[in-house]
């Protein structure tokens, strides 16, 4: 069955190529396609295009199909092109001609757009919560190791004293920043395209405000043309959010891999979280962190992959957009898997509390020596030269005292302030629970 069927036989080879991997990804969109159809049906009854009692029957049957979709029991039948065709066919098989009325006033273009919006809205909800969970774990570890000193590096050279509280807190704050960035992405996603039809509106008196309310969208895409132009743009926005979080994770993974090396020896992982070598019995390899690094480095290219498909398209719908599912859906799954693994690892890291005893770090407090001389009245540039000369002549004797007190330093890493920032970023989202949308749609006619 094809919604565009005009009794013209299309060559099977062409159909197979144009269908591509849609049957796989359409099943992920299935529950959201049904929800969009329920809202559209209710709207059609409210504007007088179908009878209320007929709409009620359609909504009840759609609710039954929704249950199948949620349980993973819905499949595309043989010869069925997409999820939209499958749902309509099931309605027609059960309700006859009444099932044919459901496509009135819409196109597959706005139908698939609303599916994508609802799907991504829920995916972002899950993703944001995972990012927050990891940030909380990092904050907890930062607090536990807040007083444990470690070397800071610039240019891969020993630089100044740092601490595990400062390092772990930095990544917790970076994730909070990522969440702030994603608030804008969520707001763009959470807009209703339904009613824009093929991208130019409909001659039927559809009520777009009603479907916006029924599906709990924060706003709607007002221009029908812009609603269609948002196909590709929506995926790109989400891709940039994926890239931002992946960039933070890949850098954290790189730090951890480096710090676990014997030349650094800052961190260790329980043996059961490492892998071995086929010939070197002493090896405990951080493969999990290396794979997080590799996967997340690849995920930072998600926006580029989407832009490569959409970059030279004019306004309006194009079949090119179908390919975006193959880029975005696996990227979402992979990032969530990486977040889950990073949570598991970061909960179990152990730190070396005696790092600075190594002579490698004998000059790490040299800036403190300069600052002491400045406080004694020596101009900074002269104090700097005096300490540099002491180091050069071998007369420098390292100390361990420091006077870092400002917010964001080793003496005051600001872990509580970072938690406040994280909470503010997380609370900036106005998440929509799909269960509430389902309840409102399924009981609409009971309440009206």
Domains of the chain, by residue range, sit at: 12-104, 117-205+216-357+411-424
Pairwise CA distance, residues 50 & 54, whole Å? 7
Residue 57 has pLDDT above 50, yes or no: yes
User: For 292-321, what is each residue's pLDDT tens digit?
Assistant: 999 999 999 999 999 999 999 999 999 999
| pLDDT score recorded for residue 59 | 97
Rounded CA-CA distance 261/286 in Å is: 9
pLDDT tens digits, one per residue of 127-136 = 999 999 999 9
Separation between Cα atoms, residue 46 and residue 44, nearest integer Å: 6
Cα–Cα distance list, 416 to 71, 132, 143, 173, 413 (Å): 42, 15, 9, 11, 9
In the structure, what pLDDT confidence band is assigned to residue 25 with cuts at 50, 70 and 90?
Answer: confident
**CATH topology for the 12-104 domain:** Fumarase C; Chain B, domain 1 (1.10.275)
Unique residue bearing structure tokens 């090396």:
261
**CATH of the domain spanning 117-205+216-357+411-424, picked from 2.40.420.20, 3.30.200.20, 1.20.200.10, 3.40.640.10:** 1.20.200.10
Percentage of the residues of the chain whose pLDDT score is greater than 90: 75
| pLDDT score recorded for residue 357 | 87
- Sign, Cα dihedral of 240, 246, 251, 254: negative
220 phi, psi to nearest 5 deg: -130, 155
* Mean pLDDT, range 384-398, rounded to an integer: 84
Beta carbons within 8 Å of 109's beta carbon, 6+ residues apart = 196, 197, 198, 199, 228, 231, 317
* CA gap 170, 152 in Å, rounded: 13
Query: Would the pLDDT of 4 be above 60?
Result: no
* Cβ-based burial of 157 (10 A; exposed 0-12, middle 13-18, buried ≥19): exposed
- Is residue 9 very low, low, confident or very high in pLDDT (cuts 50, 70, 90)? low
pLDDT digit string (tens) for 410-442? 889 999 999 999 999 999 999 999 999 999 999
Lowest mean pLDDT among 100-114, 156-170, 260-274, 412-426: 260-274
Across the range 63-79, mean pLDDT stands at: 90
Using 50, 70 and 90 to split pLDDT, how confident is the model at 6?
Answer: very low
CB hemisphere CA count around 305 (13 angstroms): 20
Q: How far is CA 316 from the centre of its chain?
A: 27
- What integer pLDDT is reported at residue 2 of this predicted model? 52
Cβ-proximal residues to 302 (8 Å cutoff; 6+ apart), any chain: 239, 240, 242, 243, 246, 327, 328, 331
Of residues 402 and 258, which shows the higher confidence score? 258
Confirm if 170 and 417 have CB atoms less than 8 A apart.
no
- In the prediction, which pLDDT does 260 show? 93
Q: What is the pLDDT of residue 10?
A: 55
Nearest to residue 117, comparing CAs of 105, 107, 125? 125
Render pLDDT for 166-206 as a digit per residue (tens, 0 to 9): 999 999 999 999 999 999 999 999 999 999 999 999 999 99
Residue 277 confidence (pLDDT): 66
How far is C-alpha 383 from the chain's CA centre? 49
Q: What is the pLDDT of residues 333-362, one digit of tens each?
A: 999 999 999 999 999 999 999 998 888 888
């Amino acid at each position: 069955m094809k919604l565009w069927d005009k009794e013209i036989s299309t060559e099977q080879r062409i159909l197979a190529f144009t269908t591509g991997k849609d049957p796989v990804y359409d099943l992920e969109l299935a529950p959201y396609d049904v929800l969009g159809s329920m809202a559209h049906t209710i709207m059609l009854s409210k504007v007088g295009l179908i009878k209320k009692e007929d709409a009620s029957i359609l909504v009840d049957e759609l609710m039954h199909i929704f249950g199948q979709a949620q349980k993973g029991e819905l499949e595309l039948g043989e010869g069925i092109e997409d999820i939209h065709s499958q749902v309509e066919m099931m309605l027609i098989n059960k309700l006859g001609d009444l099932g044919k009325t459901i496509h009135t006033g819409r196109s597959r273009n706005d139908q698939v757009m609303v599916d994508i919006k609802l799907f991504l809205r829920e995916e972002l909800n899950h993703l944001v919560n995972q990012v927050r969970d990891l940030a909380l774990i990092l904050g907890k570890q930062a607090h536990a190791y807040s007083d444990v000193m470690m070397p800071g590096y610039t240019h891969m050279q020993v630089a100044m004293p740092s601490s595990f509280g400062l390092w772990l807190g930095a990544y917790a704050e970076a994730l909070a920043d990522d969440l702030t960035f994603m608030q804008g992405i969520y707001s763009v996603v959470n807009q209703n395209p339904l009613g824009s039809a093929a991208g130019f509106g409909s001659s039927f008196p559809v009520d777009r405000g009603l479907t916006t309310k029924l599906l709990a969208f924060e706003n709607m895409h007002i221009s029908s043309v812009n609603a269609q132009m948002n196909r590709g743009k929506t995926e790109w926005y989400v891709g940039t959010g994926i890239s931002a979080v992946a960039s933070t994770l890949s850098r954290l993974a790189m730090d951890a891999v480096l710090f676990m090396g014997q030349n650094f020896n800052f961190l260790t992982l329980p043996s059961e979280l490492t892998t071995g070598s086929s010939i070197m019995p002493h090896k405990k390899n951080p493969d999990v962190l290396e794979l997080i690094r590799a996967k997340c480095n690849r995920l930072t290219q998600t926006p580029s992959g989407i832009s490569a498909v959409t970059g030279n398209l004019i306004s309006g719908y194009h079949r090119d957009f179908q390919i975006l599912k193959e880029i975005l859906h696996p990227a979402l799954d992979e990032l969530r898997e990486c977040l889950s693994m990073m949570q598991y690892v970061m909960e179990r890291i152990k730190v070396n509390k005696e790092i600075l005893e190594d002579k490698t770090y004998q000059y790490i407090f040299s800036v403190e020596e300069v600052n002491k001389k400045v406080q004694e009245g020596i101009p900074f540039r002269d104090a700097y030269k005096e300490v540099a000369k002491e180091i050069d002549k071998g007369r420098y004797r390292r100390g361990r005292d420091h006077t870092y007190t400002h917010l964001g330093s080793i003496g005051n890493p600001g872990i509580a302030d970072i938690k406040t920032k994280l909470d503010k970023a997380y609370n900036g989202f106005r998440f929509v629970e799909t269960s509430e949308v389902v309840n409102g749609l399924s009981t609409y006619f009971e309440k009206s």
